[in-house]
Structure 1
Amino acid sequence: MNVIKEIKEYKYAPRTQNKKKLDIAYGVDEKYLFASGISITSILLNNDNSAFAFHVFTDFLDSENESKFKKLAKNRCADIILYLIDCKKLKNLPCSERLNYSTYIRFIIADQLCGSKDKILYLDADIFCNGSIEALNDIELGNNACGVVKDALGKNEKATLSMRLDIPGIEDHYFNAGFLLLNLVYWRSHDVTHKAFALFGSKKYEGKLVFFDQDILNILFFGKTINVSAKYNLLYDLNHERKRKNCALPDLNVSVLIHYFGITKPWHSWANYPSCDLFKKAQAASEWKDHLSIPPKIFEELKICAKHSFYQKNYINWIKSHAKYYFG
């Protein structure tokens, strides 16, 4: 899939012979571009003595963000490569209000890098670092397709998953695709992208792919993954903050990579919780420190914002969000 329009390289990392470099990749649209920069910052803040090359694939790159990535690379002595890509073909694939075409950029990433890299770490841009990830570089994937962390499935999802994807037992191995330690040798030799796109058009899975590319990768990689410690992809739903009295929330302090996977992100205007401090610390140290918090824009966000505002006793914002939700 030849969709690369332009590549910009900013290489400021010191060249050392004895350090094994870990390649880390992000695939984002305009909405998540700033978040990928803050995620990179969080990794660099917590991994002073490690060697990385960061690859950011996006279909939007203005001069302001380009300058910020360049400054980030220079100020933090890092290698950052930006790939401006054409996503027209991806926009023909199944999407939803929450999962748009950018979720498929990970296929472009693997195809682009599999000719020069044997292994990469793919991260969603809503994952932020709280410790050393150096151990990931030492994981040997062997003949496996990927190193993964199991997803946090609800009871209903788990009960219907094997029937929905037509693979008995997959519920015990189903992984979250926000963290993928990809074996690009496997990807290349098994022509994963071609097989994945064929499944998207398959009648067998018509109407059954709830999580789209995540479902497809779980189908293709079933029995070919190795489990990585959950501390490298701690799934944290900020919407559960409202339910603290009724449920136990994960301890962020013992995790290395925190994945804010719910509809509420730590950069949202209603995400006023201590659990967002990790993101805010990284943002304050990043080139995006002046990026303003983002207000609710779609109906689902307005509804969620109203609930959080009520819980936080911000009744004025609760009324405003309710009014926008019901009256537009």
Structure 2
Amino acid sequence: MITSFAACDMHAGEALAMHAGKAGIMENDQEFHIAFGVDANYFRGMGVAIASIVEKNRATHFVFHVFAFQVSDADQRRLDQLKKAGSVDIVVHIIDPSVFDEFSAFPSFSHFSSAIFTRLLIPAALQRITKRVLYVDADVLCVDSIAELISLDISNAIAAVVEDSGAEAVKMQCEKLDLTHRRYFNSGILYINIENWIANNITQLTILKVLESEKKFMFPDQDALNIILDGRATFIDPKWNFQYNVEGFLKQGDVEFTYPREVKFIHFTGRLKPWHNWNLHKSKYLFQKYQKVSPWAAMPLDAPRNHKEMKMFSQFLFKRKHVIKGVAWYCRYMLNRFMTVTLKSQ
């Protein structure tokens, strides 16, 4: 099912509600809405994330909303297979790029990919379909029941969030962004009260903050959301967004994969993802476990695609004392980098 919308406003939400109503997807007490915003590079990750959520929550009926600028025929077929196999609803919302036309007058707009604003479109698009929605990044896996989160009362909240990992990093971001309440959250998982979000104009204010700010944001939409929701976000337990940076562990030579028993969602932050075949960390086995029960089961893990990834892979190999293979990949890195620089200079 594919739905298009042209503007992030009341009309878009009403159009989606009418379309969804015809398909029988109107909110009731037995279903829970989860949304993703993805591009082509993250479709497999999102599909496996959905498979993990379904696997750990068999008694819950989910409506998954996929927001994207385009969907390949192959990915659409996989989503259809996932829908049939999991007894879930999956609604694809194709984003019309003209939704951002009102911001094109900002000189800074061209500096950003429209994809970073995708998650901000979700509340308006779903406002006549559900009162609440859980936004989930595509690099997240569910490892336990989320019944407790589903039953959480967020009637007085705008969004329930989890603090970003690393005390020093959080402190630095709070100072950099001048956050009065000294708390900085990771936006990879947002449990949104749609009515309160829209009433407080969060989407519009966040986009404007990105485009107007003279600050150089490290994570544009996340940093701007933290400014707009400073003192207004509801912080919940870290188990709902347990952030795991695989690259950091591999740089230390640590390939073992452990996490606290109470964790519900594992969020693989950083550049290295569990669907990369050059990931030497054992976390990728968890990803492969859920991929095997998804329509993406036959898809091989991603090889290094550019000279930066090739260099990282060679460094990980050296760290693991795989010298010959490390040298081979370092040579591939040097060749790829040389060709890249040569092409840019022509």
Residue 63 of structure 1 corresponds to 73
Of the three residues 132, 153, 162, the one matched with 1:140 is 153
Native 8 Å contact 1:149 1:175 kept in 2: yes
Matched, 1:211 2:200: no
Amino acid at match of 1:270: W
Amino acid at match of 1:137: I
Of the three residues 298, 303, 310, the one matched with 2:311 is 303
Residue 235 of structure 2 corresponds to 227
Gap runs ≥5 in structure 2: 337-346
Equivalent position SS for 1:61: coil
Describe the superposition over 1:34-84 as per-residue Cα deviations: whole angstroms up to 9, x where unpaired.
211111001001111112110011112121111111111111111111112
Residue 22 of structure 1 corresponds to 32
Equivalent position SS for 2:186: coil
Residue 44 of structure 1 corresponds to 54
When structure 1 is superposed on structure 2, of 122-131 and 79-88 the one drifting more is 79-88
**Structure 1 residues 83 and 257: CA distance shift in structure 2, 3 A:** same
Of the three residues 170, 189, 211, the one matched with 1:179 is 189
**Structure 1 residues 160 and 231: CA distance shift in structure 2, 3 A:** closer
Deviation at 1:243, TM superposition (A): 4.9
Equivalent position SS for 2:192: strand
Identity of aligned residues (%): 27
Instruction: State the distance in 1 between where 2:161 and 2:229 align.
Output: 10
Of the three residues 6, 11, 36, the one matched with 1:2 is 6
Max radius of gyration: which structure? 2
Deviation at 1:94, TM superposition (A): 4.4
Residue 342 of structure 2 corresponds to none
Equivalent position SS for 2:34: strand
When structure 1 is superposed on structure 2, of 123-132 and 307-316 the one drifting more is 307-316
Deviation at 1:169, TM superposition (A): 3.9
Gap runs ≥5 in structure 1: none
Matches within 5 A, 1:72-111: 72-87=82-97, 89=100, 92=109, 94-95=111-112, 100-111=113-124
Matched, 1:162 2:174: yes
RMSD of the alignment, in Å? Answer: 3.0
Matched, 1:188 2:198: yes
TM-score under structure 1 length normalisation: 0.86
TM-score under structure 2 length normalisation: 0.82
Residue 210 of structure 2 corresponds to 200
Amino acid at match of 2:49: S
Residue 144 of structure 2 corresponds to 131
Deviation at 1:245, TM superposition (A): 6.5
Instruction: State the distance in 2 between where 1:14 and 1:168 align.
Output: 41
Describe the superposition over 1:97-134 as per-residue Cα deviations: whole angstroms up to 9, x where unpaired.
xxx54232101212211233211000000001111011
Aligned length: 316
Native 8 Å contact 2:38 2:138 kept in 1: yes
Instruction: State the distance in 2 between where 1:109 and 1:319 align.
Output: 46
Native 8 Å contact 1:130 1:278 kept in 2: no
Residue 287 of structure 1 corresponds to 295
Describe the superposition over 1:202-242 as per-residue Cα deviations: whole angstroms up to 9, x where unpaired.
2xx31331110001111111111222221111101111332
Instruction: State the distance in 1 between where 2:132 and 2:6 align.
Output: 20
Residue 319 of structure 1 corresponds to 327
Amino acid at match of 1:121: L
Amino acid at match of 1:34: R
Deviation at 1:302, TM superposition (A): 2.2
Structure whose residues are more often helix by fraction: 2
Instruction: State the distance in 1 between where 2:172 and 2:87 align.
Output: 48
